[in-house]
């Protein structure tokens, strides 16, 4: 499964430049035993203008820490909405 994930990370690099022009949040669970944090770091490294957010949970952080996940999403959305348009 991890090999499949790394293949998907590499495929991110083939997306159009328009996708890379936007900010991204990569959210990962620090205790994820399904897909390790190193894969989250690789995903973050592969996407320009990304920010890696690490929650103190496992793979399904949106269920085990919904408030933490919501806080990350809310902060991201506020940062996007409040950015001056070019």
Question: What's this model's pTM, rounded to 2 decimal places?
Answer: 0.70
Name the band, by pLDDT with cuts 50, 70 and 90, for residue 68: very high
Of 62, 74, 67, give the one whose Cα is nearest residue 27: 62
Could you tell me the two tokens for 70?
A: 């919501």
The CA angle 43-44-50, to the nearest 5 degrees, is: 135
Q: What confidence score (pLDDT) does residue 49 get? A: 85
Q: Could you tell me the residue ranges of all domains in the chain?
A: 2-81
10-60 residue pLDDT tens = 565 555 555 666 788 999 999 999 999 999 999 999 888 899 999 999 999
Q: Which residue has the tokens 């929650």?
A: 55
Q: What confidence score (pLDDT) does residue 48 get? A: 83
For the domain covering 2-81, report its CATH number. Answer: 3.40.50.1820
Q: What confidence score (pLDDT) does residue 66 get? A: 94
């Amino acid at each position: 499964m991890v090999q499949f994930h790394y293949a998907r990370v590499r495929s991110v690099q083939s997306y159009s430049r328009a996708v890379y022009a936007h900010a991204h949040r990569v959210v990962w669970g620090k205790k994820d035993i399904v897909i390790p944090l190193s894969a989250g770091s690789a995903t973050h490294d592969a996407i320009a203008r990304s920010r890696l957010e690490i929650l103190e949970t496992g793979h399904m952080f949106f269920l085990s820490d919904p408030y933490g996940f919501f806080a990350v999403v809310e902060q991201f959305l506020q940062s996007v909405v409040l950015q001056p348009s070019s």
